[in-house]
């Protein structure tokens, strides 16, 4: 994790809006149509160059490729892990089940609510076969940085946690959720190590550790879910055992969607176990109005001394552009809670393009919000250093 001694750095969670020219390819693939692989590759290159250039222009310090080549933050693994040849019934969020009329009004939620809606499912042994794609993704990123002569403090590459894959995709093969998670961890460790070899920071996307509570595990008690989260963290640690913890950061949240969120598990239930992860930084959703009080808890429950905290200080589910002054105030809360401004990096609640073509925030407003993030971090830096 990169930090400085004189200012608050900025980053985001990874995914960024994709251009229409690229979305057309994902739409064709989702419809079962064949695509021109060379044309798709070229579209990915151009989209990656565009998001890298815009991050540089805005002043983002710790940047990513924007996941331009991925359909989503988690379903991308079906192209890199063998065995995902089946389908399982889709799962709806517990809070939205109580408001079905609202769920039917929002396109993505309505799709999940339709009879027959499915998610990818594993039907055979899981093995890793995504080396070529993982290397290609990073090469596109590196080439985009060179082409635009971008100057970042650091870069990061995202990868789904074993628990996220096990929580958001289906299992039609392994005898238990625990066995499913362990198999994913054994396979996906190769992806983690490939990313770490590049020198970039590895970001583990683990919404399962909070958001999984009101999705796949909505029928369990909070205590039973915490046991699941502990199992997921153990599996993640096994997959990370060859990677220095200071090169890894983990992101978790309660689900990147605008909804009631009244079934979100309290952070207090899970935080004591989050700190068992073998990582050097935590990205945590905090701009969501349901969780803006959690900075009190972070002050009471000390994070590991070598951890950097990346609080979400912009909400990625609304089109309000938070003014820099609001962002600076939010950053200061976490500086006060942690007690050291050099351990704080300003971030976003979640990705701004988590699924291709789906995002509550309009693409151009998303970039404006990131611009305000940078300005807010500059203002906060003047106050805390």
pLDDT tens-digit series, residues 128-142: 999 999 999 999 999
Residue 30 confidence class, pLDDT cut points 50, 70, 90: confident
pLDDT tens-digit series, residues 103-161: 888 766 666 667 778 999 999 999 999 999 999 999 999 999 999 999 999 999 999 99
Q: Is residue 220 part of a domain?
A: yes
Residue 101, both tokens: 């009329």
CATH of the domain at 278: 3.20.20.210
Q: Is residue 141 part of a domain?
A: yes
* Alpha-carbon torsion angle 54, 72, 298, 162, nearest 10: -140
The residue to which tokens 């889709």 are assigned: 90
Cα distances (Å, whole numbers) of residue 266 to 25, 42, 98, 154, 202: 39, 44, 19, 32, 27
CA 254 to chain centre: 11
- Give the DSSP letter string of 27-55: HHHHTT----HHHHHHHHHHHHHHHHHHH
Q: What pLDDT is attached to residue 108?
A: 62
Cα angle value 354/53/315 (rounded, 5°): 35
Backbone angles phi, psi at 375, to 5 degrees: -65, -35
Q: Is residue 106 part of a domain?
A: no
Closest alpha carbon to 361 in 304, 370, 10: 370
Q: Is residue 103 part of a domain?
A: no
Percent of the chain with pLDDT over 70: 98
DSSP 76: G
What pTM value is reported for the model?
Answer: 0.97
Q: Is residue 98 part of a domain?
A: no
Q: Is residue 109 part of a domain?
A: no
Those residues with Cβ within 8 angstroms of residue 116's Cβ, 6 or more apart along the chain or in another chain: none
Higher pLDDT, residue 360 or 347: 347
Residue 224 structural domain: 9-78+123-384
Q: Is residue 90 part of a domain?
A: no
- For 6, the enclosing helix (H) or strand (E) is none
pLDDT tens-digit series, residues 176-212: 999 999 999 999 999 999 999 999 999 999 999 999 9
Count of CB atoms situated within 10 Å of the CB of 42: 12
Q: Which long-range contacts (CB under 8 A, 24 or more apart) does 90-93 make?
A: 90/117, 90/118, 90/119, 91/119, 91/215, 91/216, 93/214, 93/215, 93/218, 93/255, 93/257, 93/259, 93/263
Closest alpha carbon to 211 in 24, 364, 375, 351: 351
Whether the pLDDT of residue 337 is over 70: the answer is yes
Cα distances (Å, whole numbers) of residue 36 to 33, 41, 71, 75: 10, 9, 16, 21
Q: How many domains does the chain have?
A: 1
For residues 297-305, average pLDDT: 92
Q: Is residue 96 part of a domain?
A: no
């Amino acid at each position: 994790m990169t930090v400085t001694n004189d200012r608050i750095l900025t980053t985001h969670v990874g995914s960024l809006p994709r251009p229409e020219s690229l979305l057309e390819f994902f739409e064709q693939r989702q419809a079962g149509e064949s695509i021109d692989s060379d044309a798709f590759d070229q579209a990915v290159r151009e989209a990656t160059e565009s998001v890298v250039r815009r991050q540089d222009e805005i002043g983002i310090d710790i940047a990513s490729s924007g996941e331009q080549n991925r359909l989503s933050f988690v379903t991308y693994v079906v192209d890199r892990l063998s065995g995902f040849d089946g389908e399982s019934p889709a799962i709806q969020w517990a809070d939205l089940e109580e408001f079905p009329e609202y769920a039917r009004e929002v396109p993505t939620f309505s799709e999940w609510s339709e009879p027959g809606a499915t998610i990818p499912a594993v039907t055979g042994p899981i093995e890793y076969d995504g080396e070529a794609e993982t290397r290609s993704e990073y090469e596109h990123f590196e080439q985009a940085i060179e082409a635009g002569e971008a100057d970042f403090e650091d870069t990061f590459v995202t990868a789904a946690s074993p628990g996220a894959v096990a929580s958001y995709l289906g299992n039609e093969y392994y005898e238990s959720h625990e066995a499913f998670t362990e198999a994913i961890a054994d396979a996906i460790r190769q992806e983690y190590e490939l990313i770490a070899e590049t020198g970039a920071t590895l970001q583990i996307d683990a919404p399962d550790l909070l958001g999984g509570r009101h999705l796949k595990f909505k029928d369990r008690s909070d205590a039973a879910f915490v046991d699941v989260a502990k199992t997921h963290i153990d599996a993640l640690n096994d997959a990370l055992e060859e990677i220095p913890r200071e090169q890894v950061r983990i992101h978790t949240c309660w689900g990147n969607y605008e909804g009631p969120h009244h079934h979100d598990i309290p952070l207090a239930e899970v935080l004591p176990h989050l700190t068992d992860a073998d990582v050097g930084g935590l990205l945590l959703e905090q701009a969501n109005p349901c969780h803006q009080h959690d900075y009190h808890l972070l002050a009471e429950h000390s994070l590991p001394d070598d951890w950097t905290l990346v609080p979400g200080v912009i909400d990625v589910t609304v089109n309000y552009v938070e003014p820099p002054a609001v962002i600076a105030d939010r950053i200061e809360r976490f500086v006060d809670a942690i007690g050291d401004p050099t351990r704080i990096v300003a971030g976003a609640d979640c990705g701004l393009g988590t699924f291709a073509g789906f995002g509550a925030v309009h693409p151009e407003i998303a970039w404006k919000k990131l611009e305000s993030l940078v300005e807010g971090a500059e203002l906060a830096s003047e106050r805390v250093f």
